[in-house]
Amino acid sequence: MKKTGFIFDLDGVIVDTAKYHYLAWKNLADELGIDFTEEDNEKFKGVSRKRCLELLLEMGNISVSQVQFDAWLEEKNEDYLKYISNMDESEILPDVTKVLGYLKEKGIPMALGSASKNAVSILEKVELMSYFDAIVDGTQVTKAKPDPEVFLIAAKKMGVEPVNCVVFEDALAGIEAANTAGMESIGIGDVKILSDADHGFNNFTEIDLGFLNDLILLLKSKN
Which C-beta is closer to Mg ion: that of 12 or that of 109? 12
Residue 170 makes contact with Mg ion by CB under 5 A: yes
Contact 223, 201 (CB under 8 A): no
Among 119, 217, 115, 94, which Cα is nearest to 166's? 217
Which C-beta is closer to Mg ion: that of 153 or that of 218? 153
Residue 149 makes contact with Mg ion by CB under 5 A: no
Among 219, 151, 180, 152, which Cα is nearest to 4's? 219
Q: How many helices (H) and strands (E) does the chain have?
A: 9, 6
9-17, 66-74, 93-101, 136-144 -> range binding Mg ion (CB under 5 A): 9-17
Residue 26 makes contact with ligand B16 by CB under 6 A: no
56-64, 110-118, 155-163, 196-204 -> range binding ligand B16 (CB under 6 A): 110-118
Rounded-to-integer distance, Cα 102 and Cα 83, Å:
31
Cβ atoms within 10 Å of 105's Cβ, excluding its own: 8
Contact 209, 102 (CB under 8 A): yes
Position with the least CB separation from Mg ion: 12
Residue 12 makes contact with ligand B16 by CB under 6 A: yes
- Residue 11: active-site member: yes
- Residue 40: active-site member: no
SS3 119: helix
Rounded-to-integer distance, Cα 216 and Cα 142, Å:
30
Residue 12 makes contact with Mg ion by CB under 5 A: yes
38-46, 63-71, 73-81, 103-111 -> range binding Mg ion (CB under 5 A): 38-46
Which C-beta is closer to ligand B16: that of 45 or that of 125? 45
Is the N-terminal amide bond of 162 cis, ω within 30° of 0?
Answer: no
Residues 49-108 that bind Mg ion (CB under 5 A): none
Residue 189 makes contact with Mg ion by CB under 5 A: no
Q: Give me the count of residues in the chain.
A: 223
Write out the residues near ligand B16 by the rule CB under 6 A.
9-12, 21, 44-49, 52, 77, 114-118, 138, 171
Residues with a catalytic annotation lie at 9, 11
